[in-house]
Chains A and B, each alone.
Chain A
Amino acid sequence: MSHSDFPAPARTDTSGPRPVPHRARSIGLGIGLPLIIIAATIALVFTWLPDLPQTVALHWGTQGVDRVGAVNELLISSAILIGIAVVVLFPMVVLLGRSALTRRMFIGLSVGIISLFCGILLTQVLTQRGVSDPYAASDPGLGIALSMTISLLLGIAAALLGGADPTQPARDPLPEGTSRLELAAGARATWIGEATMRRPWLLIVISLIPVVIAAAIGFGTRQWWLVLPMVLLAALILGFLSFAVKIDASGLTARNNVGLQALRIPADEVVAASVTDVEPFAEFGGWGLRTNLAGTTGLVTRSGEAIRIERTGNRNVVITVDDATTAAALLNTVAERARSET
């Protein structure tokens, strides 16, 4: 769920470029809200600062506090962390987000990550209020767990409020040379495929990694609550590496293993579909549901054959499926039918 430094070649959109939708909402949620959270955190930290000991705990290890230092070190390291998040995420919120998926993702990431960092700083300060010996600082586990939960919920809420895409039906006929499926006038067709890894067992192995890490952390630190986010991560990996793809008269839909809709491209927003070859790591920086700096959304689960969809509003999509030739041909056919209906 990240972007890559290797943008795919830009494509032209026959309907012409349009401004990024819901810009005000993106800025309010993805920048305004994090700024309010940062301001509130600064205010709280400075209110509590007089109650802190001269030397504070900076790091907790398996046996409790294992590193102490000046208050300034705590504040500066936190400021750097939050600063990096601001510098990296804020431009993304403003610049990327042509499609609802990327817009929601960056708004959610911005709110989630910044509130997590603020929560961790607040936890570190709170656990040491009125303590004279930093080694006696209380266990930050609960505070960090709370920060994780709250930032996750805030991130999801902000992402949900990120705004759906306005409908942008394609106006021009399909470009010359696009493939079609031979389909009689009254005939209907449904294409069903799967975007999945070439070796399904790899999926299970990969999803086991966070579980193993969680178990290691659990045994090492006795912080068993950390297992929960790791198991959630494993579920997320499993949920984002295999998708059922369906193309019918209404357009294209991709759902993950648990049935959650990951992508939906209405037939009337398809400019053209074609077959392409994709190298997920080079073009998207990894596998799964991704977006790159060119604004292309990738549902890329393996390298090789894929369907490339030019969608109105410069929202291009690449999906790895077998038999992409048939898929692209049917999508072009239903796109053409959708145009003639209006």
Chain B
Amino acid sequence: MLITVDPSQPQPLFEQVASSVRIAILTGRLSRGDRLPTTRDLAESLEVNVNTVLRAYRDLAAEGLVELRRGRGATVTARAEADFAALRAHLAGARAEADRLGLSNATLTALLISKEK
């Protein structure tokens, strides 16, 4: 699992930590029962405040993606996998379709970012 923070980005740091974890679950790098690093450990590694990581973990817990337990830290829930299974399938489908049409990944990304529906 790769967690990145970039202070030059407009997105707040806790949001960046949380989305790194979401991506890890989405790509299957993290699965049910996997433990996230302790807040203190991760904060030290990323050179951010402990509260930043704590906030990210609380947000993930509020979404039901992780479970916070005293002494055991944060563990990925069964729901996290299930929640992302559909999106993962859609993404794989979109990628396959883009390949079929000869669209590059960059084009696909641009389409996803664009607000047009």
Q: Which residues of A contact B (CB under 8 A)?
A: 181, 183-193, 246, 248-250, 322-323, 326, 330
Is the CB of B54 closer than 8 A to any CB of chain A? no
Which 3 A/B pairs are nearest by Cβ-Cβ distance?
A187-B6, A248-B45, A190-B45
Contact B6 A191 (CB under 8 A): no
Q: Which residues of A contact B46 (CB under 8 A)?
A: 188-190, 248
Which of A181, A183, A184, A249 is B45 in contact with, Cβ under 8 Å?
A249
Complex CA gap A185/B5 in Å reads: 11
**In the complex, which residue of chain B has the Cβ closest to the Cβ of A182?**
B4
Is the CB of B10 closer than 8 A to any CB of chain A? no
Complex CA gap A322/B30 in Å reads: 11
Q: Which residues of A contact B40 (CB under 8 A)?
A: none
What are 27 pairs between A and B in contact, CB < 8 Å? Answer: A183-B6, A184-B8, A186-B6, A186-B8, A187-B5, A187-B6, A187-B7, A187-B8, A188-B4, A188-B5, A188-B6, A188-B45, A188-B47, A189-B3, A189-B4, A189-B5, A190-B3, A191-B1, A191-B3, A192-B1, A192-B3, A248-B46, A249-B47, A250-B45, A322-B29, A323-B29, A326-B2
Q: Which residues of B contact A246 (CB under 8 A)?
A: 37, 41, 45
Complex CA gap A326/B24 in Å reads: 12
Q: Which residues of A contact B4 (CB under 8 A)?
A: 183, 187-190
Contact B6 A330 (CB under 8 A): no
**Which residues, 1 to 31 on B, are CB-close (under 8 Å) to A?**
1-8, 29
Nearest chain B CB to A88's CB is how many angstroms away? 40
Q: Which residues of A contact B3 (CB under 8 A)?
A: 189-192
Is the CB of B68 closer than 8 A to any CB of chain A? no
Q: Which residues of A contact B6 (CB under 8 A)?
A: 183-184, 186-188
Is the CB of B85 closer than 8 A to any CB of chain A? no
**In the complex, which residue of chain A has the Cβ closest to the Cβ of B35?**
A244
Which one of B3, B4, B5 has the highest number of Cβ atoms from chain A below 10 Å of its Cβ? B4
Complex CA gap A193/B30 in Å reads: 10
Nearest chain A CB to B58's CB is how many angstroms away? 19
**In the complex, which residue of chain A has the Cβ closest to the Cβ of B1?**
A192
Is the CB of B42 closer than 8 A to any CB of chain A? yes
Which one of A188, A250, A326 has the highest number of Cβ atoms from chain B below 10 Å of its Cβ? A188
**In the complex, which residue of chain A has the Cβ closest to the Cβ of B27?**
A323
Contact B2 A191 (CB under 8 A): yes
**In the complex, which residue of chain B has the Cβ closest to the Cβ of A194?**
B34
Which one of B3, B37, B45, B46 has the highest number of Cβ atoms from chain A below 10 Å of its Cβ? B45
**Which residues, 43 to 88 on B, are CB-close (under 8 Å) to A?**
45-48
Contact B2 A330 (CB under 8 A): yes
**In the complex, which residue of chain A has the Cβ closest to the Cβ of B17?**
A190
Q: Which residues of B contact A193 (CB under 8 A)?
A: 1
Q: Which residues of B contact A190 (CB under 8 A)?
A: 2-4, 37, 42, 45-46
Nearest chain A CB to B112's CB is how many angstroms away? 19
Nearest chain A CB to B45's CB is how many angstroms away? 4
Nearest chain B CB to A319's CB is how many angstroms away? 16
Q: Which residues of A contact B29 (CB under 8 A)?
A: 322-323
Nearest chain A CB to B99's CB is how many angstroms away? 21
Contact B7 A186 (CB under 8 A): yes
Nearest chain A CB to B77's CB is how many angstroms away? 18
Complex CA gap A44/B51 in Å reads: 64
Complex CA gap A100/B54 in Å reads: 36
Complex CA gap A246/B46 in Å reads: 12
Complex CA gap A290/B79 in Å reads: 38
Knowing that A189-B46, A190-B46 are A-B contacts, what are 7 other residue pairs whose CB atoms are under 8 Å apart, sorted by A's residue number? A186-B7, A188-B4, A188-B45, A190-B37, A249-B47, A250-B45, A326-B2
**In the complex, which residue of chain A has the Cβ closest to the Cβ of B41?**
A246
Complex CA gap A323/B23 in Å reads: 14
Contact B47 A189 (CB under 8 A): no
Q: Which residues of B contact A186 (CB under 8 A)?
A: 6-8
